[in-house]
Structure 1
Amino acid sequence: MTNQTAIFIDAGFLLSLGGHRVAGTTLRTAFITQYESLVRGIVQTVKKNTGLSNLRVYWYDASKDGLFTEQHKRIGLIPGVKVRLGRISYNGEQKGVDLRLALDLVGVARNRSASTAYLVSGDDDLAEAVEEAQDLGMKVVLLGIAKPESRLGVASVAEHLALTADAIEILPDQLLDSAFNRVLEWDPDHSEKSARIAEAASAANSTTPAHKSAAPTPAIMAQRPAVNPHVQPGVQAEIIYSSDTHRQGYQGNAAYEQKELGIAQEIGSRVAESWLALTTQTEVVEIIADKPQLPPEIDRTLLKDCAQVLGEWKTDQQKIRRALRGAFWDHLDRLM
């Protein structure tokens, strides 16, 4: 077997964690990724840890109909990178990404093209492919983002996958800080321009009933005081992330459940706020028209952001999902 490495990157996994780290949300419009420096930094990290040259970086993502976007083309032109695409289903879910990664991992091991694979993913579904590659003589190392409070020490990695891998290593904080940058939400000039657009739209719709007027832009929304939709006016409230489950009115499991629902509600409101700050008035009008159905990208962001805080299995609970989506709509409704 050739004594070199191969790197397999689940782009959805890496971008979600990196974006959430700098922007507090997995919404891709909320952060900018420097792909060249990110890929180069990962390759350098692996080489520093192993002393080996790298065969190739395999980059797995999804797109509509599995076709290359301009972004995917730019990533594919980075030296040493092979882009492999799955497709996005009608409801916004990735299809075929894990299968492609698993087949490539086992294929590289079977062809004895690399002695060590570095896997940037946390999906439990890859555990069998990891074991197959190991049986063929390949060492498989997970490369993740540090999360000290996690039992595994890394973020969003399934325990079964972690137990299957030969080792877990961490991406340097310096690399993540340089490769992921939060988008500036709103500058004064942009706000002023958006306010003028909103005023023009309001004038154009002045003959329609008030409840059908144009949606306000983020510039106008920012001028309104924030209100917690789950609290009566004049009553202060706070969401507690600690383990204190003995708040007045609730005890034991009931208190813990209320805390989790409160966290989900705050996440839903925060995603709505981030989305509003980075969207256009037309997009606001369109999403309101489709209510209560959310665009797949936003729904996926709500679930991923919640999973970062509460964990995947909690996010699968319907009451948590209802709280997330309800809080998103509540945040929009109170600004209309």
Structure 2
Amino acid sequence: MNDQHLPPHHRETGADTTDLAAVLAGIERTNELLTRVLAEVATTPSTHAVFVDAGYVYAAAGRLVAGTEDRRAFELDAEGIIEAFIDKARTIFPDSRLLRVYWYDGARRRIHTAEQQGIAELPDVKVRLGNLNANNQQKGVDSLIRSDLESLARHRAISDAVLIGGDEDLVSAVEAAQGYGARVHLWGIEAVGGRNQAEPLLWEVDSQRTFDLDFCKPYVTRRAAYEPLSEPAPHRGPVPAREDVRFVGARVAAQWLGARGRDTLADLLPGHPYLPGAVDQELLVEAEGLLGLSLRGHADLRRAVRDGFWDHLRMQF
């Protein structure tokens, strides 16, 4: 007897039974699929990458071991320290595989030096170059770090990122990666007095680690015959206090007011607390000249220079 000859309530019961069976079959297929996905996730190792601001490593390690940030005054065993970073990451993330080490450095016209070519040939290492200006200062490195860190986190290529650097400009890179679920671990090198990593950066990361003199010493060798040519003598003595550096920033602002005019500097006020890149670079270079000290590796002192600059400008307008 087919359904059309059944009473209405019998026909509905048969249809309901068929629909229920279809639903149950669908749920079972979904459960099987979820079980397979979870099994694959459970057997897929997590992945980490190491992002190294080479300028920070050279400056911080050079100052700690050789007493200078001038690269010409010492040799850094880049291969050795990269391998040490990889080994340290392996112990901290024992169940994770290394994607690669990203080594960010500066070069004139982004053309690799012989040393950078050697680093690029190392296994599991990718060299990324920003520009190097006339004052041997890196430009564009922070944006490269942010781009790579954000892209890898967005595509779930990494679960953990080790960031070795100190600039406050890296805060946005950390926030972007964390927004996609990656954990960011900040590694640094022991500072000689004060800090060489920006406090806002320390606040944002998921964990911190600092390498001391004993860790860095095997990888830094001072060149005994080095003599600076037409360069200011390396800074000797204690690092200046933050308030003294802040005063220097105000002094630069006062000099600029006299030389550039009020209208030019008044145009900067709407951008507070940020300065255009070119203006900020000029400010730091002039401050370094007055201090007789490179501010590379001194994120707190760079902020003090900027604070003093803004303090003076805001008092004038």
Same fold (TM over 0.5): yes
**1:155-234 matched pairs, under 5 angstroms:** 155-185=195-225
Q: Which has the larger radius of gyration?
A: 2
Which residue of 34, 56, 61 corresponds with 1:13? 56
1:48 equivalenced with 2:88 (yes/no): no
More helix by share: 2
Which residue of 38, 63, 73 corresponds with 2:81? 38
Structure 1: state its 5+ residue gaps. Answer: 187-216, 219-238, 246-252, 262-294, 320-336
Letter in 1 for 2:131: R
Cross-structure match for 1:93: 137
Q: What's the offset of the Cα at 1:146?
A: 2.6
Q: What's the offset of the Cα at 1:318?
A: 9.2
Q: What's the offset of the Cα at 1:242?
A: 10
**1:19-34 matched pairs, under 5 angstroms:** 19-34=62-77
TM-score between the two structures when normalised by the length of structure 1: 0.57
Q: What's the offset of the Cα at 1:185?
A: 3.9
Q: For residues 19 and 139 of structure 1, do their structure 2 counterparts lie closer, same or farther at Cα, with a shift above 3 Å needed?
A: same
**1:168-317 matched pairs, under 5 angstroms:** 168-185=208-225, 241=238, 257=244, 303-304=293-294, 308=298, 311-314=301-304
Deviation digits for residues 221-274 of structure 1 (CA, Å, limit 9, x no counterpart): xxxxxxxxxxxxxxxxxx98599x9xxxxxxx9xx859x99xxxxxxxxxxxxx
Which residue of 103, 108, 114 corresponds with 2:147? 103
Deviation digits for residues 299-330 of structure 1 (CA, Å, limit 9, x no counterpart): 6x9542686598323456999xxxxxxxxxxx
Root-mean-square deviation (CA), in Å? Answer: 3.6
TM-score between the two structures when normalised by the length of structure 2: 0.60
Q: Distance in 1 between matches of 2:148 and 2:238?
A: 41
SS of 2:294's equivalent in the other structure is: helix
8 Å CA contact retained: 2:196, 2:300 = no
Q: What's the offset of the Cα at 1:4?
A: 1.8
SS of 1:87's equivalent in the other structure is: strand
Q: Distance in 2 between matches of 1:95 and 1:171?
A: 26
SS of 1:6's equivalent in the other structure is: strand
Q: What's the offset of the Cα at 1:91?
A: 4.4
Deviation digits for residues 97-152 of structure 1 (CA, Å, limit 9, x no counterpart): 111110000011012111100000111111112111111110000001134964xx
Q: What's the offset of the Cα at 1:174?
A: 3.2
Identity over aligned pairs, percent: 30
Cross-structure match for 1:268: none
Q: Distance in 2 between matches of 1:241 and 1:39?
A: 30
Structure 2: state its 5+ residue gaps. Answer: 1-40, 229-235, 249-284, 310-317
Q: Distance in 1 between matches of 2:103 and 2:74?
A: 19
Q: For residues 173 and 48 of structure 1, do their structure 2 counterparts lie closer, same or farther at Cα, with a shift above 3 Å needed?
A: farther
8 Å CA contact retained: 1:11, 1:59 = yes
1:68 equivalenced with 2:58 (yes/no): no
SS of 1:53's equivalent in the other structure is: strand
SS of 1:61's equivalent in the other structure is: strand
Q: For residues 172 and 240 of structure 1, do their structure 2 counterparts lie closer, same or farther at Cα, with a shift above 3 Å needed?
A: closer
8 Å CA contact retained: 2:166, 2:299 = no
8 Å CA contact retained: 1:64, 1:88 = yes
- Number of equivalent positions: 219
Greater Cα shift, 69-78 or 304-313:
304-313
SS of 1:113's equivalent in the other structure is: coil
Q: For residues 307 and 123 of structure 1, do their structure 2 counterparts lie closer, same or farther at Cα, with a shift above 3 Å needed?
A: closer
8 Å CA contact retained: 2:167, 2:299 = no
**Deviating 4+ runs (over 6 angstroms):** none
Cross-structure match for 2:47: 4
Q: For residues 105 and 42 of structure 1, do their structure 2 counterparts lie closer, same or farther at Cα, with a shift above 3 Å needed?
A: same
